[in-house]
Structure 1
């Protein structure tokens, strides 16, 4: 509802003005019909020839469409999975639009790749699947987000409730009392008529409609049209209404057995309500007698948590953490990331992608870490925003010099105010890591009794031991200096505020090295 179709139409127009054909792939028959009507209306004065391919189009018409695509008389073809049939040939296909990409299986996507190697592809989705999201995060595909909602739109109020007849009746009554309409989603065709009959008994004064995938094209179209026109106040339906439907006055959604749906599917279904300035309500009903799985519980918790407008990306990120990314190449849905660790996997993958793209790959030298316990973290009172926290951790990790560290610390103080002790320890730990990676330092580690700094032999030979001992003694009487096999060893007692003392020692050593470099 944030304008993905508008972006797609503008891209399609750009393609056909450059004499290229456009294929618009949709997951459902209803959505393909809606897109066909939208594009026909929008492209009315451009002279573009637009065709529709789905299970309701006759074999004779499909034969004519195939000929039109082959000889180039059809500019844009909109269709369902039927378009992936190899019998569809194009004169010059230049652009492929995939709507609701998460609804297509891996096999379909492999066929899409085979369509043509040199075409541009635009995938539209409110909630990208984990594998697609993973590809965008590491640079295999580019991603753009539409995050600004239309004016006067409200977040959809979402509740997880136990299934009870009295609760259902009360929810429907509340929506009808404000002259609204209700979706009741029951995803089993076998008992859908029984459910509709029961609701009709409870509300004899209003009309109850039924929509499911086994109905004919004419029946579905007529039911949807009547519901949009307000003839039906309650629509008992399957997930056929999941994508594309825009009924302004339908602002309550009841989802029966919500634990059986995927996270992005729940988000899509919920998106059918609250599409104007009225507040929308979504009730996720679960059977009180049945124990739901841990994954289903996480999904319901996530959909309840992410109610603000434009949460699709966050929903997809949560789905990525719940399900994992899977294997990006081929149909397997189980990856091997856990065996090598996520950081290492992403590093290997991004360098392979950069190599393939012809980019110069910087050789990364092994980064040492200070072997010292220093528990820094970002507390809730500093920032509640998970995105900000993630940015802070990543930015600190990416810093490569002391100058960068001081500048970033100053910037954080400007943005967030006084830095608490926990965050300050993160910066101290990073400073220790930067120190250990200097070429004049061998290691920094702590034992039960003390903290030990080993300086490299090349530095140890040049240093003025007496002057350094004098400087260290001024900091603390407990600091000891030893020469061990040509290496200078500095020992600090682990007592009191020894971390603050350690930071002073490091500042002194860095200052000493700067003086030596200046003289040298």
Structure 2
């Protein structure tokens, strides 16, 4: 299978944020885009209320030139609105899903998707593709209510985590994992694999075979899913041998304790010298997966000087201990959701975001 993973020249990943409706946020984002001479998509997929939403956006951003577009408009009127937006006469296009595909406006690099929890993962990925089509940094804001369906939140987290260019294939795999791929061992189009997810099904199958062969019934640690915007790999000028590099990657993937990770870190320093930042980040990611899994963490997203930690629904973390650990490394912890617990961390000083996060979580295990 061939994958196209090289983006067009000068393209940057679209910064994707999951946010509640906030007039101040909308005003600031639209003002920032207009100040740099750009345009904005505002997607609201309800025709009966789209004019009211457009009026509200106009009150929030009074200097913006706003137009409405939806599929029930007369053909000529819709064509006129789209032509005005493409030509730059309209600053903010409030529209339904009709902008999902077939529209190339390089000057539009900010998008809002209202009630993003009502959209499918493929739809949101297509929508996000309408921005970021030039050299400018693009932003996509997924506006959601404070309380939403757990499946919807999982879909949105996938999009928030996978912002790198060429992430479509990984998003498609996660979509299949969440929705299920049918019964691999029979003719059914649904079944056990659909209930637990593709990736978990394969892990369960592998563990069951291992237990039957070895007789070892000890439960296996479920690692946390970690995504970061920091380069994490083994540079060629650090590990020149491809065989050695593959061996280290293989050993990292099979780590099951922080002690084994520290031993590997010492070995790498002894064999190849001090760790460059990408190699150190690779080991930090592995440590976060291990310590996060031990604490019942489902996912960790690191972006700039901020991080978001989401626990499994079955986890019972102690908020007092978490607050103390993050305070010790000069992180501000903000509860974004109580059940399952989701924390937003902001680095205030001290060590880097990765080092501080690893130290805090290591102290909690």
Answer whether contact 1:337 1:345 (CA < 8 A) is retained.
Answer: no
In the other structure, the counterpart of 2:27 is: 169
Which whole-Å CA distance do the structure 2 matches of 1:321 and 1:379 have between them? Answer: 16
In the other structure, the counterpart of 1:412 is: 247
Question: CA shift at 1:232, angstroms?
Answer: 0.5
Superposed CA deviations along residues 333-376 of structure 1, whole A, max 9, x for unmatched, are: 634536999459999xxxxxxxxxxxxxxxxxxx9436597989
Helix, strand or coil at the partner of 2:214 = coil
In the other structure, the counterpart of 1:271 is: 129
Q: Residues 315 and 369 (structure 1 numbering): CA distance in 2 closer, same or farther, change over 3 Å? A: same
Q: Residues 287 and 374 (structure 1 numbering): CA distance in 2 closer, same or farther, change over 3 Å? A: closer
Q: Residues 190 and 416 (structure 1 numbering): CA distance in 2 closer, same or farther, change over 3 Å? A: same
**5+ residue gaps, structure 1:** 1-142, 348-366, 389-407, 426-520
Which whole-Å CA distance do the structure 2 matches of 1:153 and 1:410 have between them? Answer: 29
Which whole-Å CA distance do the structure 2 matches of 1:312 and 1:274 have between them? Answer: 15
TM-score by length of 2: 0.55
Partner residue of 2:2 out of 119, 144, 169: 144
Question: CA shift at 1:251, angstroms?
Answer: 0.4
In our comparison, the structure showing a higher alpha carbon Rg is 1
Partner residue of 1:192 out of 18, 27, 50: 50
Which whole-Å CA distance do the structure 2 matches of 1:163 and 1:372 have between them? Answer: 48
Helix, strand or coil at the partner of 1:282 = strand
Q: Residues 165 and 376 (structure 1 numbering): CA distance in 2 closer, same or farther, change over 3 Å? A: closer
Which whole-Å CA distance do the structure 2 matches of 1:229 and 1:218 have between them? Answer: 16
Helix, strand or coil at the partner of 1:254 = strand
Q: Residues 230 and 285 (structure 1 numbering): CA distance in 2 closer, same or farther, change over 3 Å? A: same
Partner residue of 1:301 out of 138, 157, 166: 157
Within 5 Å, which residues of 2 pair with 1:413-492? Answer: 413=248, 422=260
Question: CA shift at 1:297, angstroms?
Answer: 1.3
Helix, strand or coil at the partner of 1:251 = strand
Which whole-Å CA distance do the structure 2 matches of 1:414 and 1:258 have between them? Answer: 37
Partner residue of 1:369 out of 189, 193, 214: 214
In the other structure, the counterpart of 2:116 is: 258
Partner residue of 2:102 out of 244, 256, 274: 244
Which whole-Å CA distance do the structure 2 matches of 1:422 and 1:378 have between them? Answer: 15
Q: Residues 233 and 415 (structure 1 numbering): CA distance in 2 closer, same or farther, change over 3 Å? A: same
TM-score by length of 1: 0.39
Helix, strand or coil at the partner of 1:145 = coil
Which whole-Å CA distance do the structure 1 matches of 2:143 and 2:54 have between them? Answer: 17
In the other structure, the counterpart of 1:155 is: 13
Q: Residues 378 and 334 (structure 1 numbering): CA distance in 2 closer, same or farther, change over 3 Å? A: closer
Question: CA shift at 1:167, angstroms?
Answer: 2.2
In the other structure, the counterpart of 2:90 is: 232
